[in-house]
Structure 1
Amino acid sequence: MSPARQAPRRGSRGDGTTDQRLLDPGARLDTHTDLWRVLKIQAEFVEGFGQLSDLGPTIAVFGSARTAVDDPSYAAAQEVGRRLAEEGFTVLTGGGPGAMEAANKGARTAGGLSVGLGIELPYETGMNEFVEHGVNFRYFFVRKTMFIKYARGFVVLPGGLGTLDELFEALTLAQTGKVTQFPIVLLGTEFWGGLVEWLRGSVLASGKIKQSDLDMMTVTDDVELAVSLMREASAPLGGLLGE
């Protein structure tokens, strides 16, 4: 790919974020403005495709921006990033602090490609210092498309609403066949166990999902298992990991 670059961080305006202005109910009747926004959205897709098209085999690592350095999840994310890089994967995160920083750090220190996809927010944190190749987005849905399009699997560490959003979108797309060969690993049995039990005891028990839907997720504390599942899922794609 072209030499990696750290994309400049887009600051949010005083009247809210770009997503907020797009989705504001008071602006929905402004057809002229929305037509121009379509061009901005198109340009953001073009930029993302251009910047990310030659990443090579890539795994996305998600987790909370609020994860402290002394949190066990930080160490786990760093180890995941390191091991994925050692296996030949590009490590892709949201580019922020916390667990994302840890995964980028692990990949970078192991000599792998460390990538961050930033998002415009009312509070600006900027890309973490371990992102080697950064791309910033105004629109959440464009950014989420990039994660799904270029990642071959997700490793999901403890996180909040943003992490849950990415997790359930991945599950939905896998369930509906929109993506294939897409392993999803939840790293942290204590944190994720309650969610999985609720899905099994309430959602599955009431017939809202199938057992095969739950089987799309692997819950573990074992970093090596997470990495091996990512490798196994990529192996049928033609030996792209240097084999």
Structure 2
Amino acid sequence: MEPLGRGDPRARRPRGAHGFVRSRDGLYRPEELYDATPYSTSSDARAYQWSSEDRSPDALLTRALHDESIDQALGRWCDPRKLVGVMGGHAAERGSQEYADATRLGRTLGATHTVATGGGPGAMEAANLGASLAEADDAAVDEALGVLAEVPSFRPSVDAWVDAAWRARALCPTPSPNLGVPTWFYGHEPPNVFATSIAKYFRNAQREAILLMICDAGIVFLPGAGGTVQEIFQDACENYYATGDKVAPMVLVGRRYWTETLPAWQLLTALARGRAMEDHVHLVDTVDEAAALLNRPPVSRPSAPDAR
């Protein structure tokens, strides 16, 4: 949230006793959230602390109005775009093969779509990085990955993690537009700076639903844990009841992971059987296969009858 400075024209907006504005006209930029160092003094960290501690009616109302204004701004931002989502865990460290793969996926998808992620670290950061470098050359991508590998994780130091990210981002002064949709519910995980626009919510349930809904060109699910599994089946529920022209492709990456480690694939395909979504769920081994599926012409089939 934004503190109101003296003379700030936004002071005319409704605000709570805590001094934070209740609404915004647009999405966040990374520079707004990381507006001070050390990180603990930034707007992002202070908003998380405030949301964790202040449960007063005024604070709850402010957060609800803030999230509604983010909804409105996000709708305007998405309107001219076709979004493809990349979902995955926060554990993929910079310098790892998983991180490099997610970067390549974001870059490939970013050449034909607008990429959206959960806006956090790990695979989410990597996909936003790749999307931001969609028009950059291979050398710039390799250099950025090298800079980031110097600080693999936001633990133990968010400041070092963010500093490396700013240095990597400086290698591409005009990044391709892409989106992050993080939440202060997971405020211990800092947002990444490679999403050029950030729709940050206080309410995670609202954020999850919106993130999946706006990805009308499909979603790639990289290996992840509880949050990613939740996203798979929340998206599957939307597709289950969708008509043929409204089904968005779902691509799970990692055959062994999604059939043995966390066997979501078996339940997903059983759920899809006989529905309009059946031809739109895919299991692949590589991010290159996933990108190829989302870049091909869509397949449609007649809508199945409702069977709630």
Alignment TM class, shorter chain as reference: 0.7 to 0.9
Partner Cα separation in structure 2 for residue 163 and residue 219 of structure 1: 15
Alignment of 1:113-128 (within 5 A): 113-121=177-185, 123-128=187-192
Partner Cα separation in structure 2 for residue 199 and residue 232 of structure 1: 25
CA shift at 1:163, angstroms?
1.0
Gaps of 5+ in 1: 22-26, 237-243
Amino acid at match of 2:179: V
Are the equivalent residues in 2 in contact too, given 1:44–1:142 (CA < 8 A)? no
Cα displacement string for residues 106-152 of structure 1 (whole angstroms, at most 9, x for unaligned residues): 11122332211110135433221322111211112332233233212
Bigger Cα displacement from structure 2, 106-115 vs 155-164: 106-115
Identity between Structure 1 and Structure 2 (%): 25
Q: In the alignment, what sits opposite 1:184? A: 250
Amino acid at match of 1:12: Y
Partner Cα separation in structure 2 for residue 210 and residue 110 of structure 1: 33
Amino acid at match of 2:201: F
Q: In the alignment, what sits opposite 2:169? A: none
Q: In the alignment, what sits opposite 1:110? A: 134
Aligned partner of 2:104 among 55, 79, 104: 79
- Distance change (3 Å), C-alpha of 1:37 and 1:193: same
Are the equivalent residues in 1 in contact too, given 2:222–2:254 (CA < 8 A)? yes
Partner Cα separation in structure 2 for residue 36 and residue 128 of structure 1: 24
Partner Cα separation in structure 2 for residue 175 and residue 17 of structure 1: 39
Gaps of 5+ in 2: 1-25, 34-43, 136-175, 301-308
Aligned partner of 2:273 among 194, 202, 211: 211
Matched, 1:163 2:189: no
Q: In the alignment, what sits opposite 1:239? A: none
SS at match of 2:200: strand
Are the equivalent residues in 1 in contact too, given 2:240–2:272 (CA < 8 A)? no
Amino acid at match of 2:69: A
Are the equivalent residues in 2 in contact too, given 1:73–1:158 (CA < 8 A)? no
CA shift at 1:15, angstroms?
6.8
The CA RMSD measured in Å over matched residues stands at 3.4
- Distance change (3 Å), C-alpha of 1:197 and 1:4: closer
Alignment of 1:228-239 (within 5 A): 228-232=292-296
CA shift at 1:176, angstroms?
1.1
- Distance change (3 Å), C-alpha of 1:17 and 1:92: farther
- Distance change (3 Å), C-alpha of 1:40 and 1:219: same
Partner Cα separation in structure 2 for residue 121 and residue 96 of structure 1: 12
Amino acid at match of 1:193: T
Aligned partner of 2:238 among 143, 156, 173: 173
SS at match of 2:76: helix
Aligned partner of 2:267 among 185, 193, 199: 199
Are the equivalent residues in 1 in contact too, given 2:279–2:299 (CA < 8 A)? no
Partner Cα separation in structure 1 for residue 218 and residue 53 of structure 2: 29
Q: In the alignment, what sits opposite 1:137? A: 201
CA shift at 1:69, angstroms?
2.5
Tell which structure's C-alpha radius of gyration is larger. 2
- Distance change (3 Å), C-alpha of 1:123 and 1:229: same
Bigger Cα displacement from structure 2, 174-183 vs 110-119: 174-183
Amino acid at match of 2:251: V
SS at match of 1:60: strand
Are the equivalent residues in 2 in contact too, given 1:115–1:131 (CA < 8 A)? yes
Higher relative contact order (CA 8 A, sep 6+): 1
Q: In the alignment, what sits opposite 1:100? A: 124
Partner Cα separation in structure 1 for residue 272 and residue 96 of structure 2: 34
Amino acid at match of 1:60: G
Are the equivalent residues in 1 in contact too, given 2:51–2:202 (CA < 8 A)? no
Bigger Cα displacement from structure 2, 72-81 vs 140-149: 140-149
Are the equivalent residues in 2 in contact too, given 1:117–1:135 (CA < 8 A)? yes
TM-score between both structures, scaled by the size of structure 2: 0.59
CA shift at 1:59, angstroms?
0.6
